[in-house]
Amino acid sequence: MAERAGTRTCVIALDVGGTSMKGALLDRAMRPLTTRRGATPRHQGPEATVDAITRLLRDLASEAVRIGVAPVTAGVVVPGIVDEPAQRAVHSVNLGWRDLPLAAVLTNATGLPVRIGHDVRAGGLAESRLGAARGFDDALFVAIGTGISAALVIEGRPLRAGGYAGELGHLTVAAGAGRCACGRSGCLEAVASARAIAAAYTARSGHEVEGAEEVAALVARADPMACRVWERAVEALAEAFAACATVLAPEVIVVGGGLSRAGGLLLAPLRVALDRRLSCQRRPELVRAALGAQAGCFGAGLLGWEAADALPAAGAPADPVSDRVSHRVADRVGGRL
C-alpha cells in the first residue's frame, strides 16, 4: 500500500442507499474513527445524488484532515447492477442512473482513488470476513428489506457474474403472488420483502400498517391474519433458500436487512420450513447477520483497503501516489494532510 512510514492512514467508506447514506473513516483494523450520515436526494435526479455522494466524501476527507489521518482511498457501494471490473454503475432503478462511470466521476471530484461496489455484495463480503459468516468458505448473505437481494461468497470470494449475480428477489417462488416491481408475477420479493408483507397484511385485514415490523409485532401476539401473511412469506423464503442450497450448497445462510430484526420470530420457522425441503443437499446453517445496518459500510471499507493495497508501495520508483493523493485531497477540502 502507498503510505509513508509514521503516517496514520484510513479509508473512507460510504454505503449509498435509496433514502440515506452511511459513511465512516476506517483504520486498518476496520475501526471507525468517525461516522457521518446524509440523505440520498434520489427524487431530485441522478446528478443530485452524485453531488450528494461527492459532498459526503469531501466532508469525511475534511474530518480526516482535522484528526490528523490521511485517507488513501475511498470505497463506495451502491444498489442496482454494478460492473465492478469496469467500475461502472450500470443501472439502478432506485437512484435513476444508467451506465455511469461512477468511480472515475468521484475520483475526479475528490482527488482520491475511489473503488465502487454493489451494496449487498459488499455487505456479504463484510459478513464473511468480519461477521456471522466468518470462518465459512461458502456463504449466502440475503438482505431482506424493501426489496430482497443476495450475495454469494465462494471460497472466500464474492460471485459477481458481471454485476448480475444475487437477484434472489426475482426468483419465481409463488405463482399466485401479485406483480413484482420488475413487472413479473410470483417473485420472492413480491411475497417476502418487508414492503410486500406490510402490503399483504393491509390488503387482507383492512388495517393499514406502516411496515413489516408492525406485522411482526402482531404475529408475536398471535394475530391470525398477521400469522397467515408471515407464514406465506416464510414459506416463500424457504423455497428460495432450498433452491440456493441445491444449486450453490452454501455452508451458511446469513439473513440481514430490516426483516432480520425479527430474530427468532423469522428464523425459527424458516429453519423448519427449509429443512422440510431438503433431502440429500448440504444443510446450511441459518443465522442472523452480525453487522446489521453497518454491513454495507464495512464492506465499502474492505473494498477501499483492497484498492489501497493495490497502490504502489512507498519508496517504489514508480509514481509517488501518497504525496500525489494527499495534495489532491488537500486541494479539494481546503486543508493539508
Q: HSE (CB half, 13 Å, CA atoms) of 91?
A: 4
**Which residues, including other chains, have CB under 8 Å from residue 191's CB and lie 6 or more apart?**
173, 174, 177, 200, 232, 233, 236
**Of 49 and 18, more confident:** 49
Q: Does domain 132-290 have CATH number 1.20.120.1200?
A: no
| Alpha-carbon span 170 to 182, nearest angstrom | 8
266 phi/psi in degrees, rounded to 5: -95, -50
Average confidence score pLDDT of the chain: 88
| Alpha-carbon span 189 to 147, nearest angstrom | 6
179 phi/psi in degrees, rounded to 5: -75, 135
Q: How far is CA 12 from CA 6, 33, 55, 91, 184, in A?
A: 19, 10, 13, 24, 38
Among left, alpha and beta (phi > 0; psi -120 to 50; other), residue 275 is alpha
R_g of the chain computed on alpha carbons: 21
| Alpha-carbon span 23 to 34, nearest angstrom | 9
What are the sequence ranges of the domains in the chain?
A: 9-119+293-333, 132-290
**DSSP annotation of 222:** T
Residues 223-274 have pLDDT tens digits of 999 999 999 999 999 999 999 999 999 999 999 998 999 999 999 999 999 9
Q: Is 46 exposed, middle or buried (0-12, 13-18, 19+ CB in 10 A)?
A: middle
What kind and span of H or E run contains 252?
A: strand 252-256
Query: What sign does the dihedral 199-200-206-210 (CA atoms) show?
Result: negative
What integer pLDDT is reported at residue 6 of this predicted model?
A: 52
Residues 272-292 have pLDDT tens digits of 999 999 999 999 999 999 999
What integer pLDDT is reported at residue 313 of this predicted model?
A: 60
Q: Look up residue 135 and give its amino acid.
A: G
Q: What is the CATH number assigned to the segment(s) 9-119+293-333?
A: 3.30.420.40
What number is the average pLDDT over the span 305-328?
A: 58
What integer pLDDT is reported at residue 30 of this predicted model?
A: 95
| Alpha-carbon span 287 to 93, nearest angstrom | 29
| Alpha-carbon span 119 to 256, nearest angstrom | 12
Fold match flag (9-119+293-333 vs 132-290): yes
Residues 130-179 have pLDDT tens digits of 999 999 999 999 999 888 999 999 888 888 888 888 889 999 987 777 78
